[in-house]
Structure 1
Amino acid sequence: MSVAGEFEELYGAAPEGVWAAPGRVNLIGEYTDFNDGFVMPLALPHTAVAAVSRRDDGELRLHSADVEGGVVRLDVAALEPLAGGGGSWAAYPAGVVWALREAGHAITGADVHLASTVPTGAGLSSSAALEVVTALALNDLFGLGLSRPELAVLAQRAENAFVGVPCGVMDQMASACAIEGHALFLDTRDLSYRQVPFDLAARGLRLLVVDTRVKHALGDGAYAERRAGCEAGARALGVRTLREVPYAQLSDVLVRLSEESVRRYVRHVVSDNHRVERTIALLDAGDAAAVGPVLTEGHASLRDDLRVSCPELDLVVEAANAAGALGARMTGGGFGGSAIVLVAAERAASVAAAVEKAFAGAGFAGPKIFPAVPSAGARRE
């Protein structure tokens, strides 16, 4: 049954509309977005889909096809941020309603039914997809007139202030603003962005996503600790954010930092901003294959400086590169989740098989491997 059909079965009437918002995979630029830095995500074909109708009685009813349990009923006027963070899947769409109302928009209630094909806990922004699809649906239904970047910022606020996860804005911007066949080169300082053509097939290349199936939880404090460390580094260096630290001055800057972990975090962020700039230059020059070593270099930084990798992610990178991939790295928040592998199309199957063999040899559960196809951002279906 369709999402619209399930909605009608749940709520007794057809929805006013159906919307979709994708998950994303990040090509390069990790933990840079909350430092006002550069990122380069692309939307995936995997989406969160929402059938939605307005209500005028102040009630918010939420249901997910993917989670056991009935309809969650909430009073929109009584929505409050979750103490200590966390909460169920319903906190993400509820947080969007809260953020819209906090911004002065008169959301008088809604019936929402959600279904998602974005893998959860895989570093592919399943939560941002839920937030953005809810925000876009309410924007359309209530005639709010908000732009895509404005919706992304409100969705980020929902995750930061309501759910309690201190994420940057990359995930929501990718879900809201990406277009098919392109990667999104985003400057998170001012939310300016450029759609970069990313047709790997035309160049005989493929980008694989390897979901390790190791689940992470960014609300567990590790992400927040690294964000706090980056902010401490900026304070120690007398800058507002680490974006203001030039890569050419990195060596001189690092000797001014006394705390070892802060020094590592600063080195990663400044060098990863530089890696995004290098990647853009290579793509603009038509040399997508040369991006491979930049990815592998980025993984080493995430593993050694930021220390957010795990044995499964490291094994993907090692096995893929040993089997002839052009480059690979973990993507997303880390501590599990997914890696990406850039590979010549004719070697994609053999590289994938080498990764699966390496996982079996290490006693790990088999990974899920699929191509990253740059897809459309949020839209009304």
Structure 2
Amino acid sequence: MTATATTTTATGATPTATVTEAVTETFAELYGAGPDGVWAAPGRVNLIGEYTDFNDGFVMPLALPHTAVAAVARRDDGVLRLHSADVDGGVVQLRVDELAPLSDGGWAAYPAGVVWALREAGHRVPGADLHLTSSVPTGAGLSSSAALEVVTALALDDLYALGLSRPELARIAQRAENDFVGVPCGIMDQTASACAVEGHVLHLDCRSLSIRQVPFDLAAHGLSLLVVDTRVKHALGDGAYAARRAGCEEGARVLGVSHLRDVPYADLDEALGRLEDETVRRYVRHIVSDDHRVVRIARLLTEGDVRAVGPLLTEGHASLREDLRVSCDELDLVVESAVAAGALGARMTGGGFGGSAIVLVESSAADEVTRSVEAAFAARGFAPPRVFPAVPSRGAHRVA
């Protein structure tokens, strides 16, 4: 979906009353009656733990104050009607019993895929009318698609009293993206959108799917976390995810483990010595060390030593740049210019080859660091980046 202006409060992922009123009014104009309710689900940014999810490892995302918002009403006639305020075109009308995976590559595949996944799991969803809008930036690696899936899943769960837990909603949303849309994502994005708690990061074990909410009250420590959207996506990223996944699987096979999560950090050097392929060796080094960084950062946050997280972010970026090789000039420039201007640490976040970076700064220095990054981009002839604070926000919830 096309990004719109931010429509959330400064402290949590709840749409303003104006946004709620607008989606309700538009819904009534489209469908001739008001919705049964309005729901919101946030995008996310990942603090640490990149490419570790499909290795059964650890990740640590937080919800953004940017949300997908859905006004929804029940139907019992097998009809699914979908409309987006952010995409040109009218209402998309489908029949729930004719939904088929990989049949439509457009935006409507995301909410339609959720309906399909719920029905495939045996849940009664006889139809619905939906009107959607989103303030989650698209193409920035901030999980705009997961927000769209989760808000749809939550609304239908509420309306049809399906009784699903938040982790179950996340799995339904992931199946929609994997099997219906055809994107082989891990479980992190949907879990963060469904399960995040305001003022916390979500420490997720991607093997057991156990969740621990870790306090991340930056304001109390005089700190800010900035998201720097480079606004670029390089074609080099096409196919990179699959290639790195295959390399990690090969590394696990040679090392005799089911997933790289099973390689202890203390044994990393010995494990690397058993790998002959240099590319596989680099991938293994990144995954095992990034899993270890997640554990270290979780410990630091639990102890309240938030500033000590900064150098680990920068260390993680070096690993992504040198070992996984998924960075790019724009992302490297964010990290270099931010740290040079006094940031505590910075790293690319998400799949790489463009998208966004995060920067941990003293709040008093946020404007200066932002100006330094913008000046560095201008000096290199890059398009101006988009910079905004990542306030740890609440997960999906009913608004009205």
TM tier relative to shorter chain: over 0.9
Question: Aligned pair 1:90/2:108, yes or no?
Answer: yes
Moved more, 105-114 or 231-240: 231-240
Counterparts of residues 263-302 of structure 1 (less than 5 Å):
263-302=281-320
Which of 57, 75, 93 aligns to 2:77? It is 57
Task: Report deviation, 1:356.
Answer: 0.2
The CA RMSD measured in Å over matched residues stands at 1.5
Task: Report deviation, 1:219.
Answer: 9.2
Query: How far apart are the structure 1 equivalents of 2:166 and 2:99?
Result: 24
Show the counterpart of 2:232: 214
TM value normalised by structure 2? 0.92
Question: Aligned pair 1:19/2:1, yes or no?
Answer: no
Counterparts of residues 1-381 of structure 1 (less than 5 Å):
2-82=22-102, 87-215=105-233, 220-381=238-399
Q: Is the 8 A contact 1:121 1:217 kept in 2?
A: no
TM value normalised by structure 1? 0.97
Query: How far apart are the structure 1 equivalents of 2:122 and 2:271?
Result: 43
Task: Report deviation, 1:216.
Answer: 6.4
Task: Report deviation, 1:153.
Answer: 0.8
Task: Report deviation, 1:203.
Answer: 1.0
Task: Report deviation, 1:217.
Answer: 8.3
Q: Is the 8 A contact 2:335 2:347 kept in 1?
A: yes
Could you say what secondary structure the match of 1:214 adopts? strand
Task: Report deviation, 1:104.
Answer: 1.0
Q: Is the 8 A contact 2:237 2:326 kept in 1?
A: no
Residues 186, 17 of structure 1: CA spacing in aligned structure 2 closer, same or farther, 3 A cutoff? Answer: same
Could you say what secondary structure the match of 1:124 adopts? coil
Query: How far apart are the structure 1 equivalents of 2:347 and 2:236?
Result: 19
Query: How far apart are the structure 2 equivalents of 1:113 and 1:179?
Result: 26
Q: Is the 8 A contact 1:82 1:162 kept in 2?
A: yes
> Which residue type is aligned with residue 83 of structure 2?
H
Q: Is the 8 A contact 2:44 2:143 kept in 1?
A: yes
Task: Report deviation, 1:177.
Answer: 0.4
Q: Is the 8 A contact 1:164 1:219 kept in 2?
A: no
Could you say what secondary structure the match of 1:180 adopts? coil
Query: How far apart are the structure 2 equivalents of 1:199 and 1:339?
Result: 20
Query: How far apart are the structure 2 equivalents of 1:234 and 1:154?
Result: 28
Query: How far apart are the structure 2 equivalents of 1:354 and 1:312?
Result: 14
Query: How far apart are the structure 2 equivalents of 1:249 and 1:119?
Result: 40
Q: Is the 8 A contact 1:247 1:274 kept in 2?
A: yes
Residues 43, 259 of structure 1: CA spacing in aligned structure 2 closer, same or farther, 3 A cutoff? Answer: same
Stretches of structure 2 that go unaligned for 5 or more consecutive residues are 1-20
Task: Report deviation, 1:218.
Answer: 11
Query: How far apart are the structure 1 equivalents of 2:262 and 2:248?
Result: 12
Task: Report deviation, 1:188.
Answer: 1.2
Q: Is the 8 A contact 1:54 1:110 kept in 2?
A: yes
Matched length:
379
Task: Report deviation, 1:361.
Answer: 0.5
Query: How far apart are the structure 2 equivalents of 1:133 and 1:120?
Result: 16
Q: Is the 8 A contact 1:216 1:337 kept in 2?
A: no
